[in-house]
Amino acid sequence: MKLIQAWIELHQDDLMADWYLATNGQTFKYRFYTEQITQFFYFNTVSA
């Protein structure tokens, strides 16, 4: 859970901008986030 919170803190501005787009029926960067989260967790579990 701490890794998720850390990732959210790092990307909070982008997440809020995409939240605005999504709630207004526009496209947002979902695929980008899934790739970023995967890399973030992999790096932090391998280096731990």
Residue carrying the six token digits 């967790």: 41
Q: Angle at Cα 30 formed by Cα 2 and Cα 44, nearest 5°?
A: 30
- Claim: this prediction has a pTM higher than 0.75: no
What is the pLDDT, as a whole number, of residue 31? 62
Query: What's residue 43's pLDDT?
Result: 77
pLDDT confidence of residue 47? 64
Question: What pLDDT was estimated at residue 40?
Answer: 76
Per-residue pLDDT reduced to its tens digit, 1-48: 788 888 889 889 988 888 888 889 888 766 667 777 777 777 777 665
Specify the pLDDT at position 14: 85
Q: b vs e for 16-31, b when ≥16 Cβ sit within 10 Å of the residue's Cβ? A: eebeeeeeeeeebeee
